[in-house]
Structures are given as C-alpha cells and as structure tokens.
Amino acid sequence: MSKFWHSLSPFLIAALCAFCLTSCIGINASGKIDTKGAGTLSIEYQISKDFAQLGALESTPQLPLPLSREDIERGLRGMHGVTLKSYSQGARGDNFLVSLTLAFESPSDLVKYLDPSGKLAQYRQENGRSHLRLSFGDVVQPLDPQMQAEIAEKLKPYRFTFSLEAPQAAPEISVNQGDFFHVSSSGRKTSLECSMTDIITSAQAAEIDISWQ
C-alpha cells in the first residue's frame, strides 16, 4: 500500500470499507493548483467518538488510518516535492476532527505520493490540459441486504466531499460507476459530493476523472 493510501486513504475503498464496517468517518478534501502546477491538498476527517480516542489515534489497532502528525510525517519521509504544511486535531459534536494540509510542487509529485504503483492515481498532460484519475479500488465485495442496512444507518450523518480549484477555469470532473455523486462548479472551482453510504454500498468501485488547463 502506498504512503498516501496508508496515511490519508480517502480514495481507497478497500481500507475505507474495512474501517466503516466498525465505525463512522466523514471526509472533506479540497485542492488548489496554481499556474506553475504547484498547490495544496487539504483534508479533514470526522471520526466518531464512539470508535476512536483522540489521544490514541496513532495506536488504535482497529484504525487503518495513521492520523497523528508523527505518522503522517513518517509517511512523507523520502518523498520528493510533497510536504506537510499544517496539522490540527479537535472535536465537533460527537466527532473527533483531524485536519491537515499537504503542499506539493507539481501534480506528478502528488500522484507519486498518492500511489507510486500508478494503479489508483494517475496523472498525464495532453494537448495543453492536465488529467488526473483517482480510483476507489479494484473490486468491491458484494454486501448482503442486512449489512447494507446497518452501514446505511451508521453512516447516515457522514459525507465525502472533494473540490479542486484550477488557475484558469473550473476543472472538468466526470465519475464512472458513480451516479450518486453530485458535481457542481463555481468560479474556478469544481466540487463533487456524496454520502459515505453510497460509496461503501456501491456494487462497483467508482473512478473520478479530473481535467484542467
């Protein structure tokens, strides 16, 4: 498993599915890219207090997401062009919050951190446009109706959101095998959103295609 999928993994359905079967998590991610291709990726996790103790996030054995500053910095060692810009922990209602921002020198540096194997994250440039593809995984195991109902109830308050701001115009985003995503654009930013229930109970792993100039 790559350093990003292991430490941040908002896009890795396999780890996310295993996690959500026993807990609740919401993910809000946003990226911004400048004219030179450098930018930031900010992520906020909402984690049910019933599952995790904030002071024990790093050592909780059931939690497949290393969310402490130490573990995130450890995952960045040896990576070129990607650094941890900010990190914080807090609480909101019944949830612990973990927020972090990564700075990257180029989309290709970020993608190498996301997935060095190139299977779940890919970047290319073609005809003056940048293209980024993110996959939620390879194969989704089918869930029986009772399990789907239990997951839907647990994850009802939790959502997945992602937005990207490009230097010239709002990026174009299309989703394969994910009709449940809502896509909207405003100014130079495009956003997509869905419930965590839809991601986890989908019969097929979704793929997100993003392009910008």
Domain count, the chain: 1
- Higher-pLDDT residue of 47 and 182 is 182
pLDDT band at residue 61 using 50, 70 and 90 as cut-offs: very low
Residue 22 sits at φ, ψ, to 5 deg, of -120, 0
Cα–Cα dist 3/75, whole Å: 5
- 94: three-class secondary structure by DSSP: coil
pLDDT (tens digit, 9 = 90+) per residue, 93-114?
A: 888 889 999 999 999 999 988 8
Give residue 99's domain range: 3-212
Residue 125 sits at φ, ψ, to 5 deg, of -120, 135
The pLDDT score that the predictor gives to residue 114 is 82
Cα–Cα dist 159/181, whole Å: 11
Structure tokens at 101: 């921002």
Cα–Cα dist 78/37, whole Å: 21
pLDDT (tens digit, 9 = 90+) per residue, 103-145?
A: 999 999 999 888 888 888 899 999 989 999 998 876 556 677 8
**3-state DSSP helix/strand/coil % of the chain, to nearest 5:** 25, 40, 40
pLDDT (tens digit, 9 = 90+) per residue, 15-24?
A: 344 444 444 6
Instruction: Read off the pTM.
Output: 0.81
* CA angle (19, 2, 212) in 5-degree steps: 100
- 39: three-class secondary structure by DSSP: strand
Identify the residue whose tokens are 């949830």: 95
Identity at 12, one-letter amino acid code: L
Contact 25, 47 (CB under 8 A): yes
Chain mean pLDDT for the chain: 80
pLDDT (tens digit, 9 = 90+) per residue, 4-41?
A: 444 443 344 433 444 444 446 788 999 999 999 999 99
Identity at 132, one-letter amino acid code: L
Helices (H), the chain: 3-7, 13-20, 69-76, 107-114, 145-154, 196-201
Cα–Cα dist 48/97, whole Å: 9
pLDDT band at residue 51 using 50, 70 and 90 as cut-offs: low
